[in-house]
Amino acid sequence: MCGRAPVGHALWAADPVCAKMAASHHESDVFEFVVKKGFGVKGLADSGITSVPPRYIHPPDERIDRKKTIDASPFLGSPIDLSGLEGEKKDETIAAICEAASKLGFFQVVNHGVSLQVMERAKQDAHTFFNLSPEKKAVYLKGKTPCPNVFYSTSFGRRPRKNSFSWFIDLLTGIYGCRDAAHDYLKAASKMIQGILGALLRGLGVEYDESLLSCYMEAKAVNMNFYPPCPNPELTVGVGRHSDLAALTILLQDDIGGLFVKVEDGGWIEIPPVEGAIVVNVGDTLEILSNGRYKSAEHRVIASSTRARVSVPIFVSPRPHTMIGPLLGLAEKDGKTVYRHLLFGEYMTNYFGAAHQGKKTLVFARL
């Protein structure tokens, strides 16, 4: 039943669960195959399916229709040259970063200090891991993983709920310290992260304790996301609409594209891949710290019908015990207080406690 599986995956085709799954899309069979057996959605793609199982078919209003996207140029500027943070163009560069964070919440940067070699190695390592056999990937399943806080998973929940839908994605979470390519990528990006977050805090125009910068970027997690070729990308999503929990997300994407961001008028734009550029987006935490000035943008991803897509995000966050809220003096400067003060751990618990619905998680922190 799985005769179209790639060479070297004969054991996959021989698995009776694989044959049963390929013959029928019954949810319990798909759950057994994708989650319990550790095949993930890559296993679905490799099994030769010609249509996605019902679990992955999203309502029409949640799908991405490329024909209905809008022109990105009024919202997304040219990549920002970060070398300006260390020269005569420092003020100009800070202003450009702050404007992008206020206008869309997404921007791209170049001359960021991360070499093309390091970037390509990180992306290639994602392909290498997700092309391992299910048995080797299953070593990193929760409860088995040899690396603390490193988990291999798929978007198909451990306990599927009625009327819930899965994303067409496999993930390796928290890989810093476990895979050398991720370690090198994070190490190379650290100066850039500090420079961008420092520029954004400085751009708010209020005095703040410099030690807060370190607090707000103290926790960093590197993930690897894998979107296998999908037979019906128009029916499903790689990642559904959501905003990020972190203060900042530093995203390395490949050349396939498929990342879409919602703009204030309700339309969606695509963030096009730019060779050598890194995508930066504001997360919920920074929107709270900025009293709503910087926008944590709603975004989502579509899979490709022909090629496997990978991305490698770094999520930059405070520790759970860190207090977050509008910086001192911002409410007076803005004439309003948009968000309350709370522990980052409180917000994190709320964020992961419910299904993502755009930016609705931010309601928890609003006054």
Strand, coil or helix: what is 151?
A: strand
pLDDT tens over the chain, length 367 residues: 333 333 334 334 435 555 455 445 677 788 888 887 888 899 989 988 899 888 888 888 888 888 889 999 999 999 999 999 998 999 999 999 999 999 999 999 999 999 999 999 999 999 999 999 988 888 888 778 887 778 888 875 433 344 456 888 999 987 655 578 888 999 999 999 999 999 999 999 999 888 899 999 999 999 999 999 999 999 999 988 899 999 999 999 999 999 999 998 779 999 999 999 999 999 999 999 999 999 999 999 998 999 999 999 999 999 999 999 999 999 999 999 999 999 999 999 999 887 767 788 999 999 9
Locate CATH 2.60.120.330 in the chain. Answer: 59-365
Query: Whose structure tokens read 């229709």?
Result: 65
Q: What is the pTM of this model?
A: 0.90
Q: State which amino acid sits at residue 186.
A: L
- Those residues whose C-beta lies under 8 Å from the C-beta of residue 110, and which sit 6 or more positions away, are 79, 80, 81, 82, 274, 276, 277, 278
Strand, coil or helix: what is 11?
A: helix
Strand, coil or helix: what is 152?
A: strand
Closest CA to 288 of 206, 227, 344, 236: 344
Quick one: pLDDT at residue 176? 55
Q: Is domain 59-365 annotated with CATH 3.30.428.10?
A: no
